Amino acid sequence: MARVLHMCPTCQKPATLAGEMKVGVLSIRRYQCGHSETVLGVAPQDHDTLDITSLDGKRPFPYQIEGGRFLERANGRALLADEMALGKTVQAEIFLKAHPECLPAVIACKSGLRIQ
């Protein structure tokens, strides 16, 4: 049985995926047509499909989701240095929700945020 068909980004023809290699956050896909493609980590829309809701029903702001994407591009090794009260904890939790293999994790925050 043939593998799932993809569209080759170079020749724009349906192509079968011949192989894929991961290097850090990059994926290098090789197609049977002979072309290859480099893809960066998780696609941005994947973070949007995660069910991230606080106990009081709030959802992250778009800039917080972008912070989660930043952590994704950095393979989780980054410093979030936003201003106070902009949701650095939420950005880290977005990354952790997408990568449960990184758990357990330690998040240092104010005691009032522990409930969230």
pLDDT band, very low/low/confident/very high, at 110 (cuts 50, 70, 90): confident
Identify the CA nearest to 30 among candidates 3, 8, 14, 11.
8
What pLDDT score does 41 carry? 58
What pLDDT score does 49 carry? 55
Say what the alpha-carbon torsion angle 46, 51, 55, 60 is, to the nearest 10 degrees. 30
pTM above 0.85, yes or no: no
* Cβ pair 88, 67 in contact under 8 A: yes
User: Which strand (E) or helix (H) includes residue 71?
Assistant: helix 62-73
Q: What is the CA radius of gyration of the chain?
A: 18
pLDDT band, very low/low/confident/very high, at 44 (cuts 50, 70, 90): very low
Contacts 24+ apart (CB under 8 A), 67-71: 67/91, 67/94, 68/94, 68/95, 68/98, 69/44, 71/95
- Higher per-residue pLDDT: 20 or 26: 20
Q: Is the pLDDT of residue 71 over 60?
A: yes
Identify the CA nearest to 60 among candidates 21, 102, 92, 38.
92
What pLDDT score does 2 carry? 47
What pLDDT score does 54 carry? 79
pLDDT band, very low/low/confident/very high, at 47 (cuts 50, 70, 90): very low
Digit-coded pLDDT (tens) for 73-107: 888 888 999 888 888 888 988 888 888 888 898 88
